[in-house]
Amino acid sequence: MRLDTILTPERCFSKLPGVSKKRFLTTVSELIADETCSLSADHIYSALLAREQLGSTGIGNGIAIPHCRVTDCDHITGALVTLQEGIDFDAIDSRSVDLLFVLIVPAQETDEHLKVLGALATLFHQDSFCQELREAQSPQQLFEIATRL
C-alpha cells in the first residue's frame, strides 16, 4: 500500500503538543475536518472515541493507529502526527505514544479497512522508518518520509 493514496502533506502534523488521549483526538479530529469537505470534527471525534472505548489502538513502541469507520466518509483518509511529548494512550506495552497515524474509513469499506490497518501495522513496526518520522522537523518532511516507500 502506498501512503500517498490516503495521506496528503496537509494532513501531516509535526511536533503537536500532547496533553491527553481525549485532547489529542479532539485536536486531530478538528485538523482532519479542516482538510476534508464531507466530515465534521464532531463526527470524527465521536467515531474515534467510540473505537478507543473498545480497546486502545496503541500498538506499542510509542505508536498508535487510531482508526474508525464513518458513514459520511467517501474515501479512506489518513493523518500522520508526531507529538512534542508522548501521551498515555493505554498502549499494549504501557509506553507513552508520540507517533500516530489516524485512519478514517468509509463505513461500508470493512475489508479495505482491515487491509490498510494491516499494512500500517507492518510499516510502523519498522524501527528505522519510525525513527525517521520522529526526527522529522516539518509536515513536509513527514510526508516525504512516509510516501517514499
C-alpha cell at 31: 485538523
Q: Is 67 a catalytic residue?
A: yes
Phi/psi at 17 (nearest 5 deg)? -65, 140
Catalytic residue, candidates 43, 67, 113, 125: 67
Query: Pairing mode, if any, of strands 12-16 and 77-87?
Result: parallel
Catalytic annotation, residues: 67
